[in-house]
Amino acid sequence: MSGSQVWLITGASSGFGTELAKAALKAGHKVIATSRNPVKAAESHPEIESLGGRWLELDVTSSDTKQKVYKAIREFGRIDVIINNAGYSILGSVEDMRVIKAALPYMRSQRSGTIVNITSIAGLTGYPSSGMYAASKFALEGLSESLSQELDSFNIRLLLVEPGAFRTKFLGASLSPAAGLTKDYEGTVLEDAIKAFHAANGKQPGDPVKAADRMIEVISGTGMGAGKMHLLRLPLGPDCMKHARDKIESLSKNLDEMEAIALSTDLLQP
- Containing domain of residue 250, as a range? 6-262
Domain annotation covers residue 270: no
Domain annotation covers residue 192: yes
Kindly give, in sequence order, each residue whose CB lies less than 8 Å from that of residue 236, ignoring residues fewer than 6 positions away: 161, 162, 163, 164, 166, 206, 211, 214, 215
Kindly state the average pLDDT of the residues 256-267: 94
Domain annotation covers residue 267: no
Quote the percentage of the chain above a pLDDT of 70. 90
User: What's the chain look like in SS3?
Assistant: CCCCCEEEECCCCCHHHHHHHHHHHHCCCEEEEEECCHHHHHHHCHHHHHCCCEEEECCCCCCCHHHHHHHHHHHHCCCCEEEECCCCCCCCCCCCCHHHHHHHHHHHHHCCEEEEEECCHHHCCCCCCCHHHHHHHHHHHHHHHHHHHHHHHHCEEEEEEEECCECCCCHHHCCCCCCCCCHHHCCCHHHHHHHHHHHHCCCCCECHHHHHHHHHHHHHCCHHHCCCCCCCEEEECHHHHHHHHHHHHHHHHHHHHHHHHHCCCCCCCC
Compare 11 and 197 and report the one with higher pLDDT: 11
What's the pLDDT at 209?
92
88 is catalytic: no
The pLDDT tens digits for 40-98 are: 999 999 999 999 999 999 888 788 888 999 999 999 999 999 999 876 444 333 334 67
What's the pLDDT at 193?
78
What's the pLDDT at 171?
62
Compare 108 and 168 and report the one with higher pLDDT: 108
Domain annotation covers residue 268: no
What's the pLDDT at 92?
32
DSSP bridge partners of 160? 117, 233
What's the pLDDT at 91?
33
Kindly give, in sequence order, each residue whose CB lies less than 8 Å from that of residue 238, ignoring residues fewer than 6 positions away: 164, 205
Q: Which of 70, 88, 106, 133 is catalytic?
A: 133
Compare 164 and 175 and report the one with higher pLDDT: 164
Domain annotation covers residue 269: no
Domain annotation covers residue 1: no
What's the pLDDT at 205?
83
Domain annotation covers residue 31: yes
CB 22 within 8 A of CB 51: yes
pTM for the model stands at: 0.83
What's the pLDDT at 184?
84
- Ranking 12-21, 24-33, 186-195, 251-260 by mean pLDDT, the lowest is 186-195
Domain count, the chain: 1
Kindly state the average pLDDT of the residues 176-187: 75
Q: Is the pLDDT of residue 204 over 60?
A: yes
Q: Is the pLDDT of residue 262 over 50?
A: yes
Q: Is the pLDDT of residue 261 over 70?
A: yes
Domain annotation covers residue 126: yes
The pLDDT tens digits for 212-233 are: 999 999 999 999 999 999 999 9
Kindly state the average pLDDT of the residues 178-198: 79
**CATH code of 250's domain:** 3.40.50.720
What's the pLDDT at 173?
58
